[in-house]
Structure 1
Amino acid sequence: MKHSYFAVDLGATSGRTILGSFAGGELKLEEVNRFPNQLIEVQGHFYWDIYELYRNIIEGLKIVASRGVKITSIGIDTWGVDFVLVGKDGHFLRQPYAYRDPHTVGAPGKFFERVPSSRVYELTGLQVMNFNSLFQLDTLRRNNDSALAAADKILFTPDALSYMLTGEMVCEYTIASTSQMVNAKTRKLEPEMLEAIGLTEDNFGRFVYPGEKVGVLSKGVQRITGLGEVPVIAVAGHDTGSAVAAVPALGENFAYLSSGTWSLMGIETPQPVINAVTEELNITNEGGVEGTIRLLKNICGMWLLERCRAEWGETSYMELINDAQAAEPFRSIINPDAPVFANPSNMEEAIRQYCKDTDQPIPETRAQIVRCIFESLALRYREVLDSLRKLTSRSLSSLHVIGGGSRNNLLNQFTANSTGAVVYAGPSEATGIGNVMIQAMAAGAASGIAEMRKIVNESIPLTTFEPKDKTEWDEAYKVYLNILKTQKP
């Protein structure tokens, strides 16, 4: 019997729904519908439109139903940390804040006045970022936010959408692990963190792990879509968790780079790694599938170029890459994770100002801007990969680049040159594949991640990039490290 799985994959700039199957040991994916996911700015705050996301999911389900496709299950993955506040009557209290909202600037420092940062890291093992859910909620608490005061439940984004489909409230482990409210060792919500912001486990849905059933489509959704009681499965609700599950590696000596709006570089470990070194390096321990930990670092990724392209209007992605390839190398270098690039009003001007402030040539053309972004990302990747190498006995001689960025051959070659690792690029649809994989395992159609990765490896052509130009990139890396030391705040 052929199983068809409906995967909802939502990123910070766009979303899509996918039909996937593993028929005869072969992976097949088909995009059903694709749609934008845009920030909404109102009176200085940035929100997500949860209802528009739901509407597009429903549209995808209606398309599938109209074609007479029998769906085995549905799974939803999204970006991390953000959440919806739900009232006692089960209704959403407002559109959810987006993690790029400026209200959390400086939030970690205020929280650490009450709970030491070392204690937070000891319990959660999570990288400190101002928009982590813990700091978002603490900011709402300090601001006497009316929605939080009235909230009965807090649902992370994929769980909120599952609730809209099923009426069942859950708190899925991998998405919750991005919040800084999950104990990395017990893999459950940490009471000490919750107490610090006036919450308890009762403020969250039933705690579930990847592969568990959330519920079935509600009567209302069945009527709207024309589908029956299709199960909704808790996949790895964090999109990176789903993407990492689909890394087509056949052994353990590898690192991964999930390349999209964000770049997330890491390794899989059986247990969290929490010590003075990981705390100093701000390395994060997030939940993975089959009991694994994703030991990783969040890096600002293609957000830089996406924002520039939005400012430039209709521009050809390939034309920009080709022009960048012909531009002068290492003319200007930035720290992609500098706070000024988090959500500037004009990204191109922010990059130019950074170069001016660090006494470098100011990029004058779009090609120079793009070259600066790609080279700087590759140098940042080297910095992070070197840190991961220090934390493991593995050489990490291969780096699997997955996600949309795996199609960027220029950046992939730069990454190989910078890190000294052999880069294997693909699949670009890793998140959707991982989502489908976990549904397939829940349906009993696959025995585990190792088997599924082997299928992905055999089904998806990978592109290999060997390191080149070592001397030039080593010199550029010295310049990059010096800029990090001398950059102005």
Structure 2
Amino acid sequence: MSQKDIAIVFDCGATNVRVIAMDKCGKQIASHSLPNETDEDPHYPGGRIWDLDKLWQKLASAARHVTSEIDCNRIAGTTVTTFGVDGAFVDDQGELLYPVISWQCERTKPIMANIEKYIPLSELYKASGVFPYAFNTINKMIWFRENRPDVLENAHRFLFIPSLLINKLSGAFKNDATMMGTAMMADLKSRKMSPKILKAIGVENELFGEIGEPGSQAGTLSEHAASETGLPKDTPVFLAGHDTQFAIYGSGAKLNQPVLSSGTWEILMARSKTFKASEFALEKKITTEADAEAGIYNIGQNWLGSGVLEWFSRQFYSEYCGDELYRNMIENAEQEQPGARGIIVDPAFYDDGYGSEGGMIKGLTINTSRGQIYRAFLEGLAYRLREGLEALETAGSFKAESIICVGGGSKNKLWNQLRADVCKVPLQLIDQKETTVLGASMFVFKGAGFFNSLAEARNQIDYNPQLVEPSINTEVYEGYYQNYLKLRSGKE
């Protein structure tokens, strides 16, 4: 009889959807991915949505590839993880009453800007802990209240996007705590929706149903889903949820050990026993979410990371692509001295819908080279990391001894060294690259009874940590960092 030692994780990202088979030791047995993109909302010109049927067909196709390469008798269970905040209203058959509005849609910007029409921002932030981004779920709820009240009136449930896909797998209507924690409508301490916030925006708590914990079983794979995915019928389906929380857990982070998930977005978060949604935290754009484990909070900041560098490469290195592109950019930047000859970059090249005025490049001259500008971009993002780290340390009352760095951005050796130098702490790299899927798989194995505890599941993983220590340039960067802060604050 086969040991049930494989977890199947459906991982839906903004640019790719993937299905990965992970064994108990964190080894990928099989994987398949397909590109993902938003579509225009047929009901709202210029709006952006996720086509749920298209997502499902891609994930089902990826699953068929994966299940064709493994022994399906070894599958312990399956789960789904995705980006936060997005979801949709469904009827009692699981049919959408309106498409899934994407976090990339701009229709909610004016709602967040005028949120005090419903509830004072200070009270909303204090109650939820979530920073007031325009894409937060609360703004979509208000949009429906103001523009499509019929959808609210006819809805059986609001399901966050992982739960929409879990419904496709099993027919279950169940949300999880980690997605709830991204909505700006929750009470993080009780891990339930906030009655105060829901009352303020005129939404009934019953729409969200009972909130489940990651690793709890939502149902079993239906016959129809089995035929579409290749997974065995009646495979246990477990709750997971927001990809960030599972990436943090999968990284092996201890309490108060910051984790930098470095991709299109840089997400810096630390697992903490406490959080304070104070005026300081709001000013510093700190957001708090529900950790994958009950009783723990993830306090953090996020900003555009590799997305900024991708913009730079398109403008300045358009003749290169792939590995050649990054090799040339890094080689050019390595030839430059710290400080990039006076060029300073504020990398806030994103309008977050709440006061961001975009990025800035200062210090260009007629002799400036693109290598200098690229180095300035890497340094600017390293300064932004230190700024975020200092804010988290203050908000969480801890002092970081190292930063775990995961994601695509952790492959850039020069950037890693600059981060360590600027932040004055070691950067810890790990062998495990797919920490979101790894973390989610641990909850599957725990839920299936393969491990007695999450700690036991984590102890099976060989992270093989490698430290990037700060170099002798640490003090050199102190003055440059102060100049960056002045640029950010508008004093120069």
TM-score range, shorter chain: 0.7 to 0.9
Which residue in 1 is equivalent to 2:260?
A: 257
Please tell me whether the aligned partners of residues 5 and 21 of structure 1 are also in contact (alpha carbons under 8 angstroms). yes
Amino acid at match of 1:315: C
Partner Cα distance (1:440, 1:28) in 2:
14
Q: How large is the RMSD of aligned CA atoms in angstroms?
A: 2.7
**Deviation per residue, 1:8-30 (Å, 9 max, x gap):** 122221121111111xxx33113
Counterpart for residue 346 of structure 2 = 335
Does structure 1 residue 62 correspond to structure 2 residue 70?
no
Aligned to 2:322: 316
Moved more, 150-159 or 70-79: 150-159
| Runs of 5+ consecutive residues of structure 1 not aligned to the other structure | 343-349
* Secondary structure in 2 matching 1:27: coil
CA distance in 2, matches of 1:274, 1:151: 32
Deviation at residue 454 of structure 1 after TM alignment = 3.5
Matched, 1:37 2:41: no
- Determine the C-alpha separation between the residues in 1 that align with 2:195 and 2:308: 37
User: Which residue in 1 is equivalent to 2:234?
Assistant: 229
The structure-2 alpha-carbon separation of the partners of 1:365 and 1:9, relative to structure 1 and needing over 3 Å to count, comes to: farther
Number of the residue aligned with 2:84: 80
Mapped pair 1:93 → 2:93: no
Judge conservation of contact 1:173–1:207 (CA < 8 Å) in 2: yes
Return 384-393 or 324-333, whichever deviates more.
Answer: 324-333
Paired amino acid for 2:293: E
Say whether the 8 Å CA contact 2:4–2:76 is kept in structure 1.
Answer: no
* Counterpart AA for 1:233: F
Amino acid at match of 1:171: N
Match of 2:287 in 1: 284
CA apart distance, 1:3: 1.3
> CA deviation digits over 1:91-143, x for unaligned, max 9?
11343221121112243231123311111112111112111111222233333
Q: Deviations over 1:131-184 (max 9, x none)?
A: 111122223333347655654321111111111111111111001100101102
Pick the aligned partner of 2:463 from 437, 451, 460: 460
* Structure 2 residue 228 is matched with structure 1 residue 217: no
Using structure 1 for the length normalisation, give the TM-score: 0.88
Q: Distance in 2 between matches of 1:448 and 1:274?
A: 31
Q: Which moved more, 1:471-480 or 1:12-21?
A: 471-480
State whether residues 446 and 453 of structure 2, in contact with CA within 8 Å, keep that contact through their aligned partners in structure 1: yes
**Segment drifting more, 7-16 vs 300-309:** 300-309
Alignment check: 8 A CA contact 1:332 1:362 kept:
no
After superposition, what is the alpha-carbon deviation per residue over 1:323-355, rounded to whole angstroms, capped at 9, x for unaligned?
23423453543333354488xxxxxxx86xx33
Look up the SS of the partner of 1:122 in the other structure: helix
Give, in whole Å, the separation in 2 of the partners of 1:272 and 1:362: 48
After TM superposition, the structure 1 = structure 2 runs for residues 170-181 of structure 1, keeping only pairs within 5 Å, are 170-181=174-185
Structure 1 match to 2:447: 442
Q: Does 1:133 align with 2:144?
A: no
Task: Output aligned runs, 1:354-365, within 5 Å.
Answer: 354-355=360-361, 360=364
SS of residue in 1 equivalent to 2:56: helix
**Paired letter, 2:60:** I
Aligned pair count reads 470
Deviation at 1:396, TM superposition (A): 0.6
Q: CA deviation at 1:465?
A: 0.7
Partners of 2:437 and 2:222 in 1: how far apart? Answer: 24
- 1:453/1:396 Cα in 2 relative to 1: closer, same or farther (>3 Å)? farther
Q: Which residue of 2 aligns with 1:267?
A: 270
Tell me if structure 1 keeps the 8 A contact 2:445–2:457: no
Structure 1 residues 309, 323: closer, same or farther in 2, change over 3 A? closer
Matched with 1:396 is 400
Question: Structure 1 residues 147, 431: CA separation in 2 closer, same or farther (over 3 Å shift)?
Answer: same
Which residue number in structure 2 is paired with residue 347 of structure 1?
A: none
Measured at CA, do residues 361 and 93 of structure 1 come closer, stay the same or move farther in structure 2, by a change above 3 Å? Answer: farther
Unmatched segments (≥5 aa) in structure 2: none
Are 2:152 and 1:153 aligned?
A: no
The CA distance in 2 between the partners of 1:46 and 1:341, in whole Å, is 16
The CA distance in 1 between the partners of 2:7 and 2:304, in whole Å, is 31
CA distance in structure 2 between the aligned counterparts of 1:408 and 1:447, rounded to whole angstroms: 38
| Residue 279 of structure 1, CA deviation | 3.1
- Taking a change above 3 Å as real, the CA distance of residues 44 and 17 of structure 1, as seen in their structure-2 partners, is same
How far 1:245 moved relative to its partner? 0.8
Residue type matched to 1:465 in 2? V
